[in-house]
Amino acid sequence: MKLFAQNDSTGNASSSNQTNKKKWPGDETALRIFYGQRLINAKTVEVLPKGSMAFTVVHTFGDVAGKNGGTYTFFGLDEVSDAQIGFQIGVGNRLNVLLQHTVGNDKGGAPRHYWEAGLKYKFLQQATNGSPISLTAFGNIVSCAERIPQDSTGAVIPGFENSFVSDADRLSELLQLMVARRFGNVSVQISGTYLHTNLVIPGDQNDLLSIGAAVRIPITQSVFIISDYFHSFRNEGSKETWESKGQTPRDVFGIGVEILTAGHVFHVNFTNARNILENRFLPRTTDQWSEGQFRWGFTLARNFGLFKVKNKK
């Protein structure tokens, strides 16, 4: 299969006002609200046009400050909290398929491995003479590939999140609805999320609802301030379970800079989330900004033309 780089003028500073005038494929009145498929922790409403593929690398380091950061770990750059390599393919102008692998790293735990398959579909696209908003749905299924803890006899040790008895225990499923609008050059998004984790630690909840918000503010034609936030609605039993382990569930907040180049979208981020997957950071974030438990991260995305689409008259 032949790959060819897509000539996407994503933020080429030399192209006057191209960043602000970018249109939706096939519709000259439709506005592109975001350039990347994700901000810091949040996915965006954008989807790739048919025939395109995005290759994305996401990486987060260790704590910048606090007892686990500072000069001892070169402000977290000597450590890795999580890493992800992913592909997103436009099988239609509104429908995308996602395939991703994430290392995963829980607080005080060993690295884990997760495989993600997802679908992303755009129902509405904001347009000058059409819809006032963009509306996109995303759903995934994630499988954990971690080894099962066993005793000397080979029996599964109960009480751990990875005490899988069946393959279904390894799975979690997420459904997310994203609504976004561009006000001038400022982009705003609200995300509602439902997450079901098949196997959790005793006392935690299997079903979790979350609400998220994201914003993108231009500084120049190719530099933007980006930020996103998530709050999860936990029951008292879940809170008490985590607090009994000496960890308090926290809201997820990230802030960073988006830099657009010819063909690439590059983010430099700070976030208190250790995990990259929504299936992990929504239920498991316990780090606190005020204690220095936030970390550097970056996202690098490159679009390619995967196959050519025949133009219709």
Q: Which of residues 262 and 87 earns the better pLDDT score? A: 87
For residue 18, pLDDT over 60 is answered with: no
> Which single residue is written with the structure tokens 């700070």?
270
Q: Where are the beta strands (DSSP E) in 164-285?
A: 171-183, 186-197, 207-218, 223-233, 252-260, 264-271
Query: Cα angle vertex 191, ends 190, 194, to 5°?
Result: 155
Give the containing element (helix H, strand E) for 284: helix 278-284
CA 68 – CA 70 distance, rounded (Å): 7
Whole domain around residue 47: which residue ranges?
A: 4-148+156-305
Q: Per-residue pLDDT tens for 151-174?
A: 666 666 666 676 777 888 889 999
Classify residue 313: in a domain, yes or no.
no
Q: Per-residue pLDDT tens for 78-107?
A: 788 889 999 999 999 999 999 999 987 766
Query: Which region holds residue 102: left if phi is over 0, alpha if psi is between -120 and 50, else beta?
Result: beta
CA 98 – CA 139 distance, rounded (Å): 10
Classify residue 199: in a domain, yes or no.
yes
DSSP state of 166: S
Extract the tokens encoding 76.
Answer: 């977290």
Q: Which of residues 20 and 258 earns the better pLDDT score? A: 258
DSSP state of 2: -
Query: Cα angle vertex 193, ends 64, 104, to 5°?
Result: 40
**265-282 average pLDDT score:** 93
Q: Is 132 exposed, middle or buried (0-12, 13-18, 19+ CB in 10 A)?
A: exposed
Q: Which of residues 18 and 288 earns the better pLDDT score? A: 288
Classify residue 211: in a domain, yes or no.
yes
pTM equals 0.85
Q: Which of residues 145 and 173 earns the better pLDDT score? A: 173
CB of 48 within 8 A of CB of 93? no
**55-66 average pLDDT score:** 89
Judged by average pLDDT, the poorest of 4-18, 190-204, 207-221, 241-255 is 4-18
Confidence of residue 2 (pLDDT cuts 50, 70, 90): very low
Q: Per-residue pLDDT tens for 276-290?
A: 999 999 999 999 998
For residue 42, pLDDT over 90 is answered with: yes
For residue 30, pLDDT over 80 is answered with: no
Extract the tokens encoding 28.
Answer: 């000259």
CA 173 – CA 150 distance, rounded (Å): 26
**Residue 22: CATH number of its domain:** 2.40.160.40
Classify residue 311: in a domain, yes or no.
no
CA 275 – CA 29 distance, rounded (Å): 38
Confidence of residue 6 (pLDDT cuts 50, 70, 90): very low
- Number of compact structural domains in the chain: 1
Classify residue 310: in a domain, yes or no.
no
Classify residue 14: in a domain, yes or no.
yes
Contacts of 310 (CB under 8 A, 6+ apart): none
**52-69 average pLDDT score:** 88
- The pLDDT value recorded for residue 224 is 96
CA 217 – CA 57 distance, rounded (Å): 23
- The pLDDT value recorded for residue 261 is 84
What Å distances lie between residue 298 and 16, 119, 187, 258, CA to CA? 27, 24, 20, 10
Classify residue 312: in a domain, yes or no.
no
3-state secondary structure of 86: strand
CA 7 – CA 242 distance, rounded (Å): 48
Classify residue 102: in a domain, yes or no.
yes
